[in-house]
A and B are shown apart, each in its own frame.
Chain A
Amino acid sequence: MSTSPKLDAKIPEGVLENKWTKYRSTVPLVNPANKRSLEIIVVGSGLAGSAAAASLAEMGYKVKVFCFQDSPRRAHSIAAQGGINAAKNYQNDGDSVYRLFYDTIKGGDYRAREANVHRLAEVSGNIIDQCVAQGVPFAREYGGLLSNRSFGGTQVQRTFYAAGQTGQQLLLGAYSALERQIGMGAVQMYSRHEMLDIVNIDGKCRGIIARDLVTGKLERHFGHAVLLCTGGYGNVFYLSTNAMGSNVTAAWKAHKKGAFFSNPCYTQIHPTCIPVSGTHQSKLTLMSESLRNDGRIWVPKRKEDAQAIREGKLNPNDLKEEDRDYYLERRYPAFGNLVPRDVASRAAKERCDAGFGVNKTGEAVFLDFAANMMRYGRIEANKKGIYNPTEDVVKQLGKEVVVEKYGNLFDMYKQITGVDPYENPMMIYPAVHYTMGGLWVDYNLMTTVPGLYALGEANFSDHGANRLGASALMQGLADGYFVIPYTIGAYLSNEIRTKAIPTDHEAFVTAEKETAEQINKLMNVKGTKPVDYFHRKLGLIMWNECGMARNAEGLKKAIQDIQALRDEFWKDVRIPGEANNMNPELEKAGRVADFLELGELMCIDALNRNESCGGHFREEYQTEEGEALRDDENYAYVASWENKGNSWELHKEELKYENIKIAQRSYK
């Protein structure tokens, strides 16, 4: 296999440990006077976008930021719960840059680039420093130092957190840095704006077309470079843990204008989410992975017991210890409940498919805190010098510990399900959570369109076929704070002579016209069915055929079904209201139109990859024990798809492992 000439990753020469340091100090610089006349457009204000925009503005560039919410602070990063990884080794448990690098490559099932991942591990510590300096209130120990916890796929404690609201606190930190630049006039903010196309001139990306979501007006914006920090596309499944507005439109429009889309089939299904409760369901809610630190996952050993629990005849608290199957601890003794997400999700599906599910629909397993609550209670009783405490006292003391660690998550669970998780084990089931695939980028984070970059979840770069918990926040902030500020110099240092291009240039005029036509086309279908009808149907196809388990036959069928659904959408969707006013249905319709194309590509990609790896599990390719069976000889590549109008062409980037010995992943 050889890498396509269209995919030069521009990985610096030299030994792995020195690549980034050396590159960073040799990348061309732009002097301060020139920075003032270089304009950068940042689409997205999540961790990646806010961090990038603030940092670039601090350096002196002229920055414009776009987001579709009413404030940059509401980007979906705000919802991240559990934590952010960094190789600080504050716990003195043997952590190091190399170990974080190794865990990430292994966790990604050997489908990520070594050089990118190593850089990520190298800058991870700086992120924590930066956030603390901004006033991010991470959890601390009594001595005043930072506290850590464990996440899946690792055996060290390297996760920094702020209760179950880590994303919120990190984003508010980045947001305040951004607002500071806005206040100083270095950044112009465009909230309630949706980017609907990129504008290319002479082979380079030079701007965007955006719609003002309040007035409906289309606008043209010029930039010497454009950064897409627009998040992931998990909502192609309709039900996911993503925010309602999360979508693929920005990345997809860029894809149609020349940016290759990589590994679209790599989807992360998160093992611990609140199960679906009915057809009215609009989204799914995550119960953070951090809960697996203290929660034990189980189903009954006997089917009769599972059935009795389903029918409400047996209280799970009454089921004896020896009648419970802690299946993760049984199958993976070394990592137990802390195996990576893909492994934990498949194991839950396996038990439920075999008839051991514990809720009405049979699609739920228990996440049980009772044992650890009592353990904490006894520790607290000891600390307080209470000897021979009663069970009730132990339970109360233990509960107080759990409240401090996970209080907001327990409250959320109770609010949604109506069941008190302090008294009963939680019921959970896997749900779509994160997308490892995204726009192809080189080491500089530039897509295949010169001048167009992708950061954060929107790119494909660092997580291979499966992302480890607490690593998305790390990657978003690494890209924004510590990578792009350097790597963008490689491009912009050659652009200092490019004057701002007036937006009456014909490329802008044409792009705006095309966007207006697409909006008119949508408004004029005047069919009978609301957008959600199509979105829900697409979600079901994707979940059934391109979800936790896939096979060739199902994928082929899914491709046909999606094509048919897409035709139906363009014949029968009904969008009320006007295009020149605030119109949430029109916004949704545009996003679903793009999902209907992306879904097809995801299935094509999944069909092409005749192996199982990470979040991509093809039923035809598994070991005897039901673990993912990779095919390194034929599939150790990044699958990058070029849009050809009505079809796609595959380009491969070979993945070379020079520092890590590639092996079957084992968590036993």
Chain B
Amino acid sequence: MSGNMNITLKVWRQNKASDKGRFETYAIPNVSEDMSFLEMFDILNEQLIIEGKDPVAFDHDCREGICGMCSMFINGRPHGPLKGVTTCQLHMRSFKNGDTIVVEPWRAKAFPVIKDLVVDRSAFDRIIAAGGYISVNTGNAQDANSLPVAKENADHAFFAAACIGCGACVAACKNASAMLFTSAKISQLALLPQGAPERNTRALNMVAQHDAEGFGSCTNTGACEAECPKGISLSNIARMNREYLGAALMS
């Protein structure tokens, strides 16, 4: 079932990290409004392959808004125009016939471009490896219900833990800061009694790794929260700052 929208795409093309990169313009006819944004890219790519050209590389996997892999900067906004929606969950009914849509990769020093719209976000893994865990080896746990957690804290820990690690917060920030991402994990673990023993080292180490990766500092513009597809709240950054200050005083 093809539709009746005609869309023009201006897409960032860059063959390798070392290349300079440029925009290319493509016309996509017969787009249906039930199509997802990535399904439109599937069509573009099929078209390019048939024409003997190189298709556009982009990251995606679950296409359900949960794996955090998709990462397109659409008309100047990470994940496009809708609030609380990842690129893969964006549907063409959010656009109009005749629209020209500009699509770029995440841009940040700590997220170098690999190819076209694909960037390297391994810095996020290293921030987690620096302290985003509770040190409990397999087999060491006590009965789950022996440790009640107030529902409110559990709920807030869950809201923070809902971060999908997509990096939109970094892409949205003029300083390319990853404080929203980092603070979400610190908050989740700070809100739970299990996380208490390591709270000081966790905050210090994760923030140190954040800085070492080349992410910028937070100047409280709130752009990250506005663009985060999972509604991760700025209050996490405030909590992280308290954790950090507390830890810095102790050390």
**Residue B24 CB within 8 A of the other chain:** no
Known A129-B141, A582-B115; contact A70-B120, beta-carbon cutoff 8 A:
yes
Please tell me if the beta carbons of A585 and B134 are within 8 angstroms of each other in the complex.
no
**Residue B244 CB within 8 A of the other chain:** no
**Residue B251 CB within 8 A of the other chain:** no
Partner of B162, one of A165, A418, A585: A165
Please tell me if the beta carbons of A278 and B149 are within 8 angstroms of each other in the complex.
no
Nearest to B137 among chain A residues (CB) is: A58
Known A183-B130, A278-B1, A581-B15; contact A168-B148, beta-carbon cutoff 8 A:
no
Known A73-B68, A278-B1; contact A144-B149, beta-carbon cutoff 8 A:
yes
CA distance A176 to B53 in the complex (A): 40
Known A70-B59, A576-B48, A581-B15; contact A282-B39, beta-carbon cutoff 8 A:
yes
CA distance A170 to B2 in the complex (A): 39
Question: How far in angstroms is the closest Cβ of chain B from A470?
Answer: 16
Please tell me if the beta carbons of B1 and A279 are within 8 angstroms of each other in the complex.
yes
Please tell me if the beta carbons of A140 and B149 are within 8 angstroms of each other in the complex.
yes
Please tell me if the beta carbons of A134 and B59 are within 8 angstroms of each other in the complex.
no
Encode contact with B along A65-96: 1 for CB under 8 Å, 0 otherwise.
00001111110101100000000101000000
Tell which of B151-159, B172-180, B212-220 binds the partner.
B151-159
Please tell me if the beta carbons of A280 and B147 are within 8 angstroms of each other in the complex.
no
Known A243-B67, A481-B138; contact A280-B39, beta-carbon cutoff 8 A:
yes
**Residue A349 CB within 8 A of the other chain:** no
Partner of B194, one of A58, A73, A135, A162: A135
Please tell me if the beta carbons of A129 and B143 are within 8 angstroms of each other in the complex.
yes
Known A418-B91, A581-B16; contact A71-B121, beta-carbon cutoff 8 A:
yes
Question: How far in angstroms is the closest Cβ of chain A from B158?
Answer: 4
Please tell me if the beta carbons of A576 and B55 are within 8 angstroms of each other in the complex.
yes
Partner of A71, one of B84, B122, B151: B122
Please tell me if the beta carbons of B61 and A169 are within 8 angstroms of each other in the complex.
no
**Residue B38 CB within 8 A of the other chain:** yes
> Which A residues are in CB contact (< 8 Å) with B32?
278, 280
Please tell me if the beta carbons of B136 and A244 are within 8 angstroms of each other in the complex.
no
Known A130-B141, A133-B142; contact A532-B67, beta-carbon cutoff 8 A:
no
Encode contact with B along A261-287: 1 for CB under 8 Å, 0 otherwise.
000000000000000011111110100
Please tell me if the beta carbons of B85 and A132 are within 8 angstroms of each other in the complex.
no
Known A73-B165, A128-B144, A418-B91; contact A576-B67, beta-carbon cutoff 8 A:
no
**Residue A487 CB within 8 A of the other chain:** no
Please tell me if the beta carbons of A78 and B66 are within 8 angstroms of each other in the complex.
yes
Question: How far in angstroms is the closest Cβ of chain B from A546?
Answer: 24
CA distance A145 to B144 in the complex (A): 9
CA distance A51 to B139 in the complex (A): 12
Question: How far in angstroms is the closest Cβ of chain A from B32?
Answer: 6
**Residue B105 CB within 8 A of the other chain:** no
**Residue A333 CB within 8 A of the other chain:** no
**Residue B77 CB within 8 A of the other chain:** no
Question: How far in angstroms is the closest Cβ of chain A from B229?
Answer: 11
> Which A residues are in CB contact (< 8 Å) with B135?
180
CA distance A532 to B39 in the complex (A): 12
Please tell me if the beta carbons of B128 and A176 are within 8 angstroms of each other in the complex.
yes
Interface residues on chain B, size class:
35 or more
Tell which of A113-121, A409-417, A559-567, A640-648 binds the partner.
A409-417
Partner of A140, one of B122, B131, B151: B151
Encode contact with B along A130-144: 1 for CB under 8 Å, 0 otherwise.
111111011111111
> Which B residues are in CB contact (< 8 Å) with A172?
161
**Residue A485 CB within 8 A of the other chain:** yes
- Of residues 38 to 89 in B, which have CB atoms within 8 Å of A's CB atoms? 38-39, 42-43, 45-46, 48-50, 52-55, 57, 59-69, 84-85, 89
Question: How far in angstroms is the closest Cβ of chain B from A601?
Answer: 26
Tally chain A residues at the interface, Cβ within 8 Å: 79
- Of residues 109 to 148 in B, which have CB atoms within 8 Å of A's CB atoms? 114-115, 118, 120-122, 124-126, 128-145, 147-148
Question: How far in angstroms is the closest Cβ of chain B from A491?
Answer: 19
- Of residues 207 to 222 in A, which have CB atoms within 8 Å of B's CB atoms? 214
Known A71-B124, A280-B1, A530-B50; contact A134-B134, beta-carbon cutoff 8 A:
yes
CA distance A133 to B49 in the complex (A): 49
Known A278-B32, A481-B138; contact A70-B121, beta-carbon cutoff 8 A:
yes
CA distance A129 to B57 in the complex (A): 41
**Residue A188 CB within 8 A of the other chain:** no
**Residue B93 CB within 8 A of the other chain:** yes
CA distance A282 to B42 in the complex (A): 8
> Which B residues are in CB contact (< 8 Å) with A482?
138-139
CA distance A584 to B54 in the complex (A): 11
CA distance A19 to B62 in the complex (A): 39
**Residue A12 CB within 8 A of the other chain:** no
Please tell me if the beta carbons of A182 and B129 are within 8 angstroms of each other in the complex.
yes
Please tell me if the beta carbons of B138 and A485 are within 8 angstroms of each other in the complex.
yes
Nearest to B165 among chain A residues (CB) is: A73
CA distance A175 to B133 in the complex (A): 9
> Which B residues are in CB contact (< 8 Å) with A280?
1-2, 32, 34-35, 39, 42-43
Nearest to B48 among chain A residues (CB) is: A576
Nearest to B84 among chain A residues (CB) is: A411
CA distance A243 to B149 in the complex (A): 33
Please tell me if the beta carbons of A74 and B67 are within 8 angstroms of each other in the complex.
yes
CA distance A482 to B138 in the complex (A): 8
> Which B residues are in CB contact (< 8 Å) with A55?
137-139
CA distance A315 to B145 in the complex (A): 46
**Residue A37 CB within 8 A of the other chain:** no
Question: How far in angstroms is the closest Cβ of chain B from A78?
Answer: 5
**Residue B101 CB within 8 A of the other chain:** no
Please list 21 pairs of residues, one from A and one from B, whose beta carbons are closer than 8 Å in the complex, sorted by A's number: A79-B64, A79-B66, A129-B143, A130-B138, A133-B136, A133-B194, A137-B157, A143-B148, A144-B148, A144-B149, A146-B144, A146-B145, A172-B161, A179-B125, A243-B61, A277-B34, A281-B39, A418-B93, A576-B49, A576-B55, A582-B114
Q: Closest 3 CB pairs between A and B?
A: A144-B148, A183-B129, A278-B1
Additional pairs, 14, CB under 8 Å, beyond known A416-B89, A577-B54: A71-B122, A73-B68, A73-B125, A74-B62, A79-B66, A135-B133, A146-B144, A176-B134, A243-B61, A282-B38, A411-B84, A412-B89, A530-B49, A530-B50
List residues of B whose CB falls within 8 A of some A CB: 1-2, 15-16, 32-36, 38-39, 42-43, 45-46, 48-50, 52-55, 57, 59-69, 84-85, 89, 91, 93, 114-115, 118, 120-122, 124-126, 128-145, 147-151, 154-155, 157-158, 161-162, 164-165, 188-189, 192, 194-195
List residues of A whose CB falls within 8 A of some B CB: 51, 54-55, 58, 69-74, 76, 78-79, 88, 90, 126, 128-135, 137-146, 162-163, 165, 168-169, 172, 175-177, 179-180, 182-183, 189, 191, 214, 243-245, 277-283, 285, 411-412, 415-416, 418, 481-482, 485, 528, 530, 532, 574, 576-577, 581-582, 584-585
